[in-house]
């Protein structure tokens, strides 16, 4: 489905990387009902293609990544976003890191040093989601297992195998999360925040996979999607995915969620997560915490859906999660249109932390953690 | 202060009414530090000038109203907004209603019938704020007290006296609200929602008057202003008023309020109201309710500031307050830029209701109602 031209572009970037537009007869990318966030094309000397989500829903444009810089830029600029998806992008970025050394006559040692330096750049492109570092570290572990004299080309081959494995695993995780979550999702309308669908992952999504799995099983409901300022992932991405699938979606401003919950028509709130601590505190898109407090005030169950790679068992409290603060312009100039006067400052944390006590259940690929406790987390993740 | 040209216009309207731009040397409107929302120019055959708030902060443009239709359009399109300000606009609109009959050879009876019909159009231009009907009914009461043979010209004269009285009263009410509120405002940073300043009233504002009065008394703090989607009255109007006055203002997306409160740096939340019931339930801009729930969760006092004309003692529960639902485009196309895919629906209530139990105090021109109870409301309003 190509909506290019239907809707003005979300954001015109001046320093855009190489990109292609889809829409031609022969273009198979994102045609039909299953959008996807990124794909690797070719062998280890190939390229990573990232759907530029900053252009959605106005246009389908793909970033062609042949080097790490382009991947890092795409992650930082949220062209690819969603904790699982940026993890996968990071893994493929490691293949490109190895490719950068090929043909430069670098010996195995220098090639490896280059790739490991690039690993750090990739892992730190965004600070809050733990999946990014997790995926890059899986790639680094692959390198560590290879003999010291492994050539750059062989490094790239091995890293592509690992990245494809992470990507394929994520598809299966999404499926399992969808299945576990649909089984416990109460009947009725659902409220969600940000985007947690195919665009946020390498598969069908996390929280949105729960919703679409329930729908595919014949359940009927309306999805209420918070628009999710500042970057409007709810109206731009979640609504787009749901419209494509023919699932009724109603967008609201984030501040209307309290009133919506007060009407009594919401059966459950379900969101994703960027990092979950050992006690079950969950960092997710800004606004999630407020939503959880409101759900609690109305006795509406609040669920978090995330793969086990989202857990950071090295930290206990959500207070230890670093919260990314992003550019003031995201707040002061919505969709690039200045709205505030010169002289106004902005407070723009990209995430907040929802304490475990407000979460009815955490839906993982290994099952549902409910009630949420350190013990239940260890038990389900260990299982 | 003329910012025209500094910032792209908020919204380009195709069917705009007559308007003038300020900025010439001789233009005294809104120059300097005290913005204002509307003014009457001339005698009873004169005109109402309304600052077009949909153009702020990008430009200062004035709507010249010589008939009721223009006033009703300005109220419906939120060119003038804020419960007290639309009440005053309604009162001046009644003068224009009388003026419409002058010179048409209508007898006193027909002129009066015309004005009363226009009264109903004005009173119902927006449904939630009670001040609009309250002000129009004051004008209707003036008419009722006049002899049956009063000419249209004499009607207009009497209505202008009443409208000017309502306007002048509102200035005094704002001053008193500011004074009472500043006396109880805790030390520290303040969070507010929507716009409750000079632009929302005929004077210095309600909640914002509390803030500016405290500042003028030498108190120092930062004002955190929720941007207030969908129409961004926080970033466009509140931030603009505060920047003009040199008071530090930090804008945040509405969904960041929970995280901000969790940081512990907010000493109080203060908002306005569009209608308050006999038990103290308060309707105000969408998002207010969620903010009140969050303030409660963090033990931060939540104050409502409003003149006594905001009370509707004829109804007891907030459930009886009609909530205006506005156009889907406000949600789906922020600042006029489409952000959601075709096929997405919108839920766009303009207001929500905060139950009395979440309100630490209601600041009126007659004093502070705290704790909020039917009895305390009756006592303070009756005093």
Smallest CA–CA distance, residue B111 to chain A, in Å, is: 43
- Residue A355 pLDDT level (bands cut at 50, 70, 90): very high
pLDDT at A296 over 50: yes
Report the DSSP beta bridge partners of residue B285. B351
Place of tokens 């409003």: B306
Identify the CA nearest to A235 among candidates B304, B345, B9, B227. Answer: B345
Chain A residues touching B331 at Cβ < 8 A: 227, 235, 251-253
- Residue B345 pLDDT level (bands cut at 50, 70, 90): very high
Place of tokens 């970025």: A93
A223/B contact by beta carbon, under 8 A? no
pLDDT in tens, A40-94: 999 999 999 999 999 999 889 999 999 999 999 999 999 999 999 999 999 999 9
CATH of the domain at B252: 3.40.50.10470
Identify the CA nearest to B247 among candidates B279, B219, B276, B281. Answer: B219
Place of tokens 């109880």: B184
Segment A209-215 mean pLDDT: 98
Omega prior to B230 cis, within 30 of 0: yes
Q: What pLDDT does A37 receive?
A: 94
Is B188 found in the same domain as B166? Answer: no
Is B337 found in the same domain as B206? Answer: yes
Report whether B383 contacts B195 (CB < 8 A): no
Report the DSSP beta bridge partners of residue B50. B38, B63
**Ordered alpha helix ranges (H), chain B:** 68-76, 83-101, 108-123, 131-145, 152-184, 207-216, 233, 239-245, 257-262, 288-297, 329-332, 374-382
Is A133 found in the same domain as A58? Answer: yes
A178/B contact by beta carbon, under 8 A? no
Smallest CA–CA distance, residue A74 to chain B, in Å, is: 20
Is B281 found in the same domain as B134? Answer: no
Residue A134 lies in domain? 2-172
Smallest CA–CA distance, residue A302 to chain B, in Å, is: 16
| Tally of structural domains, chain B | 2
pLDDT at B26 over 50: no
Distance CA B381, CA B383 (A): 5
Per the structure block, which two tokens stand in for B382? 């009756």
Q: Which of A236, A251, A293 lies at the smallest CB-CB distance from B346?
A: A251
Q: Which of B251, B336, B353 lies at the smallest CB-CB distance from A331?
A: B251
Identify the CA nearest to A285 among candidates A175, A164, A126, A156. Answer: A126
Mutate to test the interface with A, among B33, B59, B290, B329 (most CBs of A within 10 A): B290
B236/A contact by beta carbon, under 8 A? yes
Report whether B135 contacts B90 (CB < 8 A): yes
Is A197 found in the same domain as A144? Answer: no
Is A200 found in the same domain as A166? Answer: no
Q: What pLDDT does B18 receive?
A: 56
Q: What pLDDT does A320 receive?
A: 96
CB interface of A with B, residues 290-309, below 8 Å = 290, 293-294, 297
Chain B residues touching A349 at Cβ < 8 A: 256, 259
pLDDT in tens, B30-46: 444 467 899 999 999 99
**pTM of the complete model:** 0.90
User: Cα separations (Å) of B92 from A72, A322, B135, B159?
Assistant: 58, 54, 9, 8
DSSP A253-279: -GGGHHHHHHTT-EEEEEE--SEEETT
Q: What pLDDT does A19 receive?
A: 54
Q: What share of chain B is helix, strand, coil (3-state, %, to 5)?
A: 45, 15, 40
CATH of the domain at B106: 1.20.120.420
Residues A232, B339: C-beta atoms closer than 8 Å: yes
pLDDT at A281 over 70: yes
CB interface of B with A, residues 111-150, below 8 Å = none
E strand segments, chain A: 19-21, 38-41, 47-51, 61-65, 189-192, 223-226, 249-252, 266-271, 275-277, 282-285, 302-305, 311-312, 345-347, 351-354, 361-364, 367-369
Which 8-state DSSP code applies to residue A185? P
Question: Which amino acids of A are annotated catalytic?
Answer: 274
Q: Which of these three, B172, B187, B213, is where a domain ends? A: B172
Distance CA B102, CA B151 (A): 8
Burial label for A210, CB within 10 Å (0-12, 13-18, 19+), is buried
Angle at A294 between CA B315 and CA A185, to 5 degrees: 120
Which residues, other chains included, contact A375 with Cβ-Cβ below 8 Å and sequence gap of 6+? none
pLDDT at A1 over 50: no
Collapse the DSSP code of B39 into the 3-class scheme (helix H, G, I; strand E, B; otherwise coil) and give the result.
Answer: strand
Question: Which amino acids of B are annotated catalytic?
Answer: 274
Place of tokens 């709507």: B63
Identify the CA nearest to A229 among candidates A130, A321, A332. Answer: A332
- Residue B367 pLDDT level (bands cut at 50, 70, 90): very high
pLDDT at B383 over 70: no
- Residue A159 pLDDT level (bands cut at 50, 70, 90): very high
Residues A339, B243: C-beta atoms closer than 8 Å: no
Segment A109-135 mean pLDDT: 95
Report whether B60 contacts B54 (CB < 8 A): no
Which 8-state DSSP code applies to residue A90? H
Distance CA B135, CA B152 (A): 20
Q: Which of A3, A250, A260 lies at the smallest CB-CB distance from B345?
A: A250
Collapse the DSSP code of A280 into the 3-class scheme (helix H, G, I; strand E, B; otherwise coil) and give the result.
Answer: coil
Burial label for B369, CB within 10 Å (0-12, 13-18, 19+), is buried
Is A277 found in the same domain as A154? Answer: no
pLDDT in tens, B178-192: 999 999 999 999 999
Report whether B79 contacts B42 (CB < 8 A): no
User: Strands B266-271 and B189-192, how do they pair?
Assistant: parallel
Is B286 found in the same domain as B257? Answer: yes
Q: What pLDDT does A31 receive?
A: 40
Is A190 found in the same domain as A122? Answer: no
Segment B290-294 mean pLDDT: 98
Smallest CA–CA distance, residue A89 to chain B, in Å, is: 25
Per the structure block, which two tokens stand in for B28? 């005294």
Residues B57, A340: C-beta atoms closer than 8 Å: yes
Chain A residues touching B244 at Cβ < 8 A: 341
Smallest CA–CA distance, residue A251 to chain B, in Å, is: 5
- Residue of chain A minimizing CA distance to B353: A259
User: Strands B223-226 and B249-252, how do they pair?
Assistant: parallel
Is A300 found in the same domain as A188? Answer: yes
User: Strands B361-364 and B302-305, how do they pair?
Assistant: parallel
pLDDT at B25 over 80: no
Segment A307-314 mean pLDDT: 95
Residues B235, A290: C-beta atoms closer than 8 Å: no
pLDDT at A24 over 90: no
Q: What percent of chain B has pLDDT over 70?
A: 91
Q: What pLDDT does B67 receive?
A: 97
pLDDT at B16 over 50: no
Q: What is the mean pLDDT of chain B?
A: 91
Chain A residues touching B239 at Cβ < 8 A: 340-341, 344
Residues A342, B251: C-beta atoms closer than 8 Å: no
Q: What pLDDT does A105 receive?
A: 81
Q: Which of these three, B172, B202, B220, is where a domain ends? A: B172
pLDDT in tens, B232-258: 999 999 999 999 999 999 999 999 999
Per the structure block, which two tokens stand in for B230? 């969908």
Residues B232, A348: C-beta atoms closer than 8 Å: no
Is B128 found in the same domain as B34? Answer: yes
Chain A residues touching B249 at Cβ < 8 A: 343-345
Q: What pLDDT does B27 receive?
A: 40
pLDDT in tens, B120-178: 999 999 998 889 999 999 999 999 999 999 999 999 999 999 999 999 999 999 999 99
Other beta carbons within 10 angstroms of residue A216's beta carbon come to 14
Smallest CA–CA distance, residue A180 to chain B, in Å, is: 27
Other beta carbons within 10 angstroms of residue B46's beta carbon come to 16
Distance CA B156, CA B210 (A): 35
User: Cα separations (Å) of B258 from A149, A288, B253, B284, B291?
Assistant: 53, 9, 10, 18, 8
Q: What pLDDT does B19 receive?
A: 54
Mutate to test the interface with A, among B30, B255, B265, B342 (most CBs of A within 10 A): B255
A238/B contact by beta carbon, under 8 A? no
Is A374 found in the same domain as A232? Answer: yes
pLDDT in tens, B191-221: 999 999 999 999 999 999 999 999 999 999 9
Q: Which of these three, A152, A172, A192, is where a domain ends? A: A172
């Amino acid at each position: 489905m190509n909506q290019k031209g239907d809707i003005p572009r979300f954001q015109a970037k001046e320093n855009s990387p190489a990109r292609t537009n889809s829409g031609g007869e022969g273009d198979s990318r994102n045609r039909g009902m299953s959008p996807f966030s990124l794909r690797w094309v070719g062998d280890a000397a190939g390229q990573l293609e990232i759907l530029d989500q900053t252009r959605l829903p106005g246009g389908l444009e793909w970033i062609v990544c042949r080097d790490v810089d382009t991947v890092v830029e795409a992650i930082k600029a949220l062209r690819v976003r969603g904790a699982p998806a940026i993890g996968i992008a990071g893994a493929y970025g490691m293949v490109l890191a190895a490719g950068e050394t090929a043909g430069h006559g670098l010996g195995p040692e220098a090639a490896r040093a280059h790739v490991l330096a690039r690993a750090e750049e990739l892992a730190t492109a965004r600070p809050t989601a733990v999946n990014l570092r997790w995926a890059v570290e899986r790639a680094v572990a692959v390198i560590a297992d290879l003999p010291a004299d492994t050539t750059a080309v062989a490094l790239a081959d091995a890293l592509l195998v690992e990245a494809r494995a992470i990507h394929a695993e994520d598809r299966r995780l999404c499926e399992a999360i969808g299945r576990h979550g649909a089984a416990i999702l109460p009947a009725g309308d659902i409220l969600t925040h940000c985007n947690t669908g195919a665009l946020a992952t390498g598969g069908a999504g996390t929280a949105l996979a729960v919703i679409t799995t329930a729908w595919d099983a014949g359940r009927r409901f309306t999805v209420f999607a918070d628009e999710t300022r500042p970057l409007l992932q709810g109206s731009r991405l979640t609504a787009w995915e749901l419209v494509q699938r023919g699932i009724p979606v109603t967008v609201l401003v984030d501040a209307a969620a309290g009133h919506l919950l007060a009407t009594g028509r919401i059966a459950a709130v379900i969101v994703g997560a960027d990092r979950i601590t050992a006690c079950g505190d969950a960092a997710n898109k800004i606004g999630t915490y407020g939503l959880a407090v409101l759900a609690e005030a109305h006795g509406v169950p609040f669920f978090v859906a995330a793969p086990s790679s989202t857990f950071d068992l090295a930290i206990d409290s959500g207070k230890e999660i670093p919260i990314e603060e992003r550019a003031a312009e995201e707040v002061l100039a919505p969709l690039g249109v200045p709205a505030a006067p010169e002289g106004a400052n902005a407070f723009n944390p990209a995430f907040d932390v929802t304490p475990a006590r407000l979460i009815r259940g955490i839906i993982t690929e290994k099952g549902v953690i409910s009630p949420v406790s350190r013990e239940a987390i260890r038990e389900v993740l260990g299982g």
